[in-house]
Structure 1
C-alpha cells in the first residue's frame, strides 16, 4: 500500500529530462524509475518526461513521455525549452550525462536550460575529476543554471566543490534509487533457473569493455577447484552504442576465454536487457555479486546499488562509488585486474557463511534509505526547497546565447542544405536559379564553387554529418576547382557553360583571390586526407600568382585564406612570407588613400567590402602588428556606421555602389555584403573581445531574417536557401548560388560564435 504524503505547496507538475525506456541504458532506467517513483509518492502531482533520442526514429515510449529531443539537432533544444515554458511545470529535473546531449561536451543542452523559466534541479550521473576545458566550462555553466545539483555519492560532492568551485549549499546528496525488494535466501528461486544446489556468482549490466568481466573468468578456475558446483551468470545485453560501433566483439572475446579455460559448464551468458521483475529474481539467486570494473573513475553505479538493495554479498574493484558504498564491511574490495586475489575472496566468502550473511545484512540495511519511496521523498523535498527559494529570491532570467540587445535577440535557424544540393550536379554548383529551380543557361563559376567547398568543409567540422553527404559534396566542388585551375597560366578560369566549356572572358584577380580564400579555409577544416592533400597542393600552386595582386579585394581574400591555411600549417615559411608581403601591401594602400572622413584603401565601396578590414585584422593579429589591427578595427567601425540605419543593417546597394564624395546606392542590397560583415565582425570580436562586435555580427545577420529596410526576410526556411537581394520594391525571389552560400556561411559563422559564447563566456581568455 502506498503511503500518501502531504501535498508540496506550489508544485503541481514536474518534468524530468533524460533518456527513457525502452531505450537501453542505465539513465533510461533511472529516469523511468524516478518518474514512476515521484508519481507513486505524490500522485496528485503530474510527473512526466522529456526523452533524449540517439536515433531519428526515436523509441516506442509510454504516455509519460510528452516530448522528444534528437540529441544532435540543436534546434530541438530551443523548441523543447519553448514546449516546457508553455507546459508550465513547476520544476524541471534534468538527468545529466555528457554523452547523451549534442554539441562539444554536450553544450547544446545549455541552450535549453538557459531559456527555461522555472527552477531546475540537475542530477549528475558523471562528475569528471580531470576535465578538459570544454567539459569544465560546461559543468560550471550547468551549475550556474541549476538551482540545485543532486549527486549520488559524497565523493562527487567534494569533486564539485574542489574542482568546479560549486558551493556546498548548492549540492544535495540523494542515494541512487533502487526497488524495494525483500531480503530472501539465495536458494529460494534457484530451481526456477535450474541452478538449484549451485553456488551462484552474478554480474549484470550492459556489456562494454570497461566492465572487467574477463577478470572474473580468469579467477574462475581457482574457484571451481574448491567449489565444483559454482556457476557464474553474466546478465545483460551489449550496450547499444558499443554494439553499433564494435558489434559483439567484447562478448565474443569473453566466450573465447571461457572456451580456452575449459569452464563452459560453469558460465552462463544471458544476453538480455532484463525487465525489473526478472532482474530482481536473478539477483535473488546470487550468492555473491561481483562488479569488476577496470578503472576507478565511476562516480555512481546503479547495478551495485541494486545488488546491495537485494542484500547480496558483494566483491568489487575499488572504483569510487564502490569504495564509498561498500565501506564498513558492507562488501569486499579487491585490486583492479587481479584474478588471484579475486579468486581468494570468492572462496573465502563461499566457505564462511557467517561472514557472507553478515555482509548481506549490512548492505541491505544500509540501502533502506535508497529505495525509491525514500529517494522520491528526498527529491520532492529538494524540489519544494528550490521552488520556495526561487519565490523568496527571484533571479533574472538570462540566456547564454541571447543576452544581447533586444533588437538583436533571436534564435538561430537550423542549417538546411536542401537548396544547396538542388543547385549542385555532378559538375559543381550552378550559378543562378529561377526562384528555386536551377537555371542551367548561365552555367557555373569558380567563386561560387569555391564558397560551396567552404560550406561543405565547415559543415563537416561543425554539423552532425550523418546523412548530409558533405564529404561527397566536398569532392564535387574541389573537383571543379581542380579543373578550373589552368596549369599553364597558374590562374583560375572563372565561368563555365552548362556544356562544360570555359568562357573566354578576361582573367580577373578577384575570383582567383576568392578561390584562394575558400581553399585556405578548407585546408584548415577538412578531415578527409585525400581532400586535404588536393586542397593543399592546389592552394600552394595558386598562391604563387597572388603575390603580384594589386586589387585590394583580391589581396584581402588571399590574406583571409592564408590566415586559415597557416592555422593548419603554421610552419610554411613561404606562405608566411606571401602573407607578410600582401598584408603590408594592403596596409600601405589604406595608409596612402585614407582621409579622416574616408578611412578606406580606395575611392569606392562596392563588392564584399568588409573583407578588407577583415584581412587587416587577422593578418595584423598574427603578425603582432598593432597598428594594422587598429586600422582594421577603425575601418570596419566606419563601414558599419555608414551601413547602419534606424538600428538595422542597410548594406550599400549594387545599383551604383558608393563613391567617395558621391551618394551611396540604397538598393539592390546583396546577401554577400551581409555575409562579409558578419564574418568581419566575428573576427573583430574574437581578436578584440569587445562585446560590441558580437552585437554587430548579430545585427548584420538579422538583415537576412527581416530586420532590414523593408522588414522582409530573405532566408527561405523551406529550402534552406536565400533570395538574391533586397530591391526597392520587394525581394528578388530567385535563390542563386551566391546568395544561398552567403546565407549558409553567415549562419555557420554565427552558430560558431554562439557556440564559443556558450563555452567561453565565463572564461574570456579562452577566446584568443
Structure 2
C-alpha cells in the first residue's frame, strides 16, 4: 500500500549519525514500497551555521528553533511520522521543541532512540519520557538499549518498544585471512573526543614488528569543528609523534560517501572501536563492520558486549593500550581467528541490510495504521 512517510530529524547536507540514518531509511523505505513518498522536516539547531548547500528533494520544511506549529502541520499531511531522537539534534532547552511537535501530531508516530543514557540530566530524562508518551511505537537499535530503557525510564507500554537494528553498508566478502603486507587497522566515523583514538595510538608501538597501517577515517564532527576546530585531530597527531608511531598512523579527514566507505571497509583487516564511553548502546559502525564480516576489536561498551561476546570480535577494557595491542596482535597473527570471527558474524548478523531494516519499519507502520482503523471503527 502506498504511504507518505514523514520524518522529523536532521538530514543531509548535515553530516551526523541521525542525518545519515534518516537519508538511508527514507531512501530504502520508499524503495520497498514503490510509489510511496517521504517528506522530511529538517531540524535546524543553529541556522546561522548551516552549510550553503541545497536541501535534498525530500526536505519539505526547515524547522527553525521554536517553530513547532509549522513543522507539525507539514507532518500531519503524512500517513505516519518517524521522529529521530538523539540528544542535541533538536532545539529548545534539553531538546524540548520535539515535544511541541509531538503534541500536535494527529497521525501515528514512531520515535527512534539513538542514545539511551543510564543517568541523563533531569531535563533530558523528562523530555525523553514525555516523547515516549506521545509515541505509538518506540524503536531502539539494540537489545541493550531496550533493556536500559525499560529498566530505567518511564515506559508505560514496554511491549511497544521494538528493536530494529541499524542498517549496514553493502560490502563484498573479505579475504579469509589478514593481509601480510602492512595489515590495515581501521577506525572510521565522525571524529570527536570520546572515540578513544588516544589509546589506539598508544597501542601501536607494541605492534611495530607487524608494520601495521592504522587509518582513522572521517571528518571532525560538525559541532566539534564549530566550537574547537581541529584541535582534537592535532592533539592526536602530536600524541603519535610523542609515542614514536607517526609513521604507522594516517588520518583521512574527508567525509566518505557510501561507495568509498564500502571500499575502505572491504580492504580493512580489522576494525577497531576503542571508545571511552561505557554508555554506548548503539553503534552503526559496529553493525556495519559485522555486516562486512570484518574482525572487530572493541572496548566493552554495551552494544559491543551484546554482539561480540560470542566470538564475532574481541572485547578489551576501556583505556587500556596493552589490551588493545594484544587483541590486535591475535587477530592479525593467530591462524584461523579472523576467519572464525567472520563466520560468527555471518550467523550473528544475517540480514542487517537497509532493505531488511526498511521492511521492518514498513511493517511497523502498517501495524500502527491498521490499529488506528480498528479504533476509529
Q: Same fold (TM over 0.5)?
A: yes
Aligned to 1:600: none
Asked whether the equivalents of residues 183 and 364 of structure 1 are also in contact (C-alpha less than 8 Å), the reply is no
CA distance 1:40–1:365, change in 2 (3 Å): farther
Tell me which of 37, 52, 61 is aligned to 1:67: 61
Asked whether the equivalents of residues 186 and 284 of structure 1 are also in contact (C-alpha less than 8 Å), the reply is no
Aligned to 1:251: 233
The answer to whether residue 359 in structure 2 is matched with residue 377 in structure 1 is yes
Aligned to 1:299: 281
Asked whether the equivalents of residues 289 and 314 of structure 1 are also in contact (C-alpha less than 8 Å), the reply is yes
CA distance 1:337–1:394, change in 2 (3 Å): farther
Aligned to 2:247: 265
Higher relative CO (CA 8 A, sep ≥ 6), structure 1 or 2?
A: 2
SS at match of 1:316: strand
Aligned to 2:166: 176
Asked whether the equivalents of residues 142 and 282 of structure 2 are also in contact (C-alpha less than 8 Å), the reply is yes
For 1:220 and 1:171, how far apart are their aligned partners in 2? 42
Higher-helix-fraction structure: 1
Asked whether the equivalents of residues 332 and 338 of structure 2 are also in contact (C-alpha less than 8 Å), the reply is yes
Q: 1:393 Cα shift?
A: 2.5
SS at match of 2:336: helix
The answer to whether residue 108 in structure 2 is matched with residue 119 in structure 1 is yes
TM-score by length of 2: 0.95
For 2:335 and 2:44, how far apart are their aligned partners in 1? 46
Asked whether the equivalents of residues 15 and 50 of structure 1 are also in contact (C-alpha less than 8 Å), the reply is yes
For 1:300 and 1:169, how far apart are their aligned partners in 2? 20
Q: 1:83 Cα shift?
A: 2.1
Asked whether the equivalents of residues 60 and 74 of structure 2 are also in contact (C-alpha less than 8 Å), the reply is no
The answer to whether residue 301 in structure 2 is matched with residue 330 in structure 1 is no
The answer to whether residue 36 in structure 2 is matched with residue 45 in structure 1 is yes
Asked whether the equivalents of residues 86 and 114 of structure 2 are also in contact (C-alpha less than 8 Å), the reply is yes
Aligned to 1:19: 10
For 2:93 and 2:176, how far apart are their aligned partners in 1? 46
Tell me which of 187, 191, 195 is aligned to 1:203: 187
SS at match of 1:17: strand
Q: 1:187 Cα shift?
A: 9.0
For 1:187 and 1:344, how far apart are their aligned partners in 2? 18
For 1:267 and 1:24, how far apart are their aligned partners in 2? 24
CA distance 1:394–1:170, change in 2 (3 Å): farther
For 1:355 and 1:372, how far apart are their aligned partners in 2? 28
Asked whether the equivalents of residues 173 and 292 of structure 2 are also in contact (C-alpha less than 8 Å), the reply is yes
TM-score by length of 1: 0.47
Aligned to 1:276: 258
Tell me which of 350, 357, 370 is aligned to 1:388: 370
For 1:187 and 1:56, how far apart are their aligned partners in 2? 48
CA distance 1:359–1:187, change in 2 (3 Å): closer
SS at match of 1:306: helix
The C-alpha deviation readout for 1:469-500, integer Å capped at 9, x for no partner, is xxxxxxxxxxxxxxxxxxxxxxxxxxxxxxxx
Q: 1:280 Cα shift?
A: 0.5
Asked whether the equivalents of residues 186 and 286 of structure 1 are also in contact (C-alpha less than 8 Å), the reply is no
Task: Could you tell me which runs of 5 or more consecutive residues in structure 2 were left unpaired when the two chains were aligned.
Answer: none
Task: Report 1:449-488 matches (<5 A).
Answer: none
The answer to whether residue 93 in structure 2 is matched with residue 104 in structure 1 is yes
Aligned to 2:341: 359
The C-alpha deviation readout for 1:269-313, integer Å capped at 9, x for no partner, is 101111011101110111010000001111211111111111110
CA distance 1:137–1:312, change in 2 (3 Å): same
For 1:102 and 1:365, how far apart are their aligned partners in 2? 41
Q: 1:329 Cα shift?
A: 0.5
Task: Could you tell me which runs of 5 or more consecutive residues in structure 1 were left unpaired when the two chains were aligned.
Answer: 1-6, 191-195, 396-768
Asked whether the equivalents of residues 51 and 67 of structure 1 are also in contact (C-alpha less than 8 Å), the reply is yes
SS at match of 2:47: coil
For 2:14 and 2:115, how far apart are their aligned partners in 1? 19
For 1:20 and 1:366, how far apart are their aligned partners in 2? 30
Aligned to 1:156: 145
Aligned to 1:221: 205
The answer to whether residue 27 in structure 2 is matched with residue 36 in structure 1 is yes
Asked whether the equivalents of residues 171 and 265 of structure 2 are also in contact (C-alpha less than 8 Å), the reply is no
For 1:216 and 1:158, how far apart are their aligned partners in 2? 30
Task: Report 1:225-624 matches (<5 A).
Answer: 225=209, 227-228=210-211, 230-393=212-375
The C-alpha deviation readout for 1:587-627, integer Å capped at 9, x for no partner, is xxxxxxxxxxxxxxxxxxxxxxxxxxxxxxxxxxxxxxxxx
The C-alpha deviation readout for 1:30-83, integer Å capped at 9, x for no partner, is 11000111021111211232211233264422112111112xx21x22111122
Asked whether the equivalents of residues 187 and 285 of structure 1 are also in contact (C-alpha less than 8 Å), the reply is no
SS at match of 2:132: helix
Q: 1:367 Cα shift?
A: 2.1
The C-alpha deviation readout for 1:204-256, integer Å capped at 9, x for no partner, is 0111110000101100010113x13x110010111111111111111011100
CA distance 1:144–1:217, change in 2 (3 Å): same
Asked whether the equivalents of residues 215 and 251 of structure 2 are also in contact (C-alpha less than 8 Å), the reply is yes
For 1:235 and 1:242, how far apart are their aligned partners in 2? 16
The C-alpha deviation readout for 1:686-720, integer Å capped at 9, x for no partner, is xxxxxxxxxxxxxxxxxxxxxxxxxxxxxxxxxxx
For 1:251 and 1:394, how far apart are their aligned partners in 2? 56
For 1:48 and 1:269, how far apart are their aligned partners in 2? 36
Aligned to 1:532: none
Asked whether the equivalents of residues 200 and 231 of structure 1 are also in contact (C-alpha less than 8 Å), the reply is yes
For 1:283 and 1:132, how far apart are their aligned partners in 2? 36
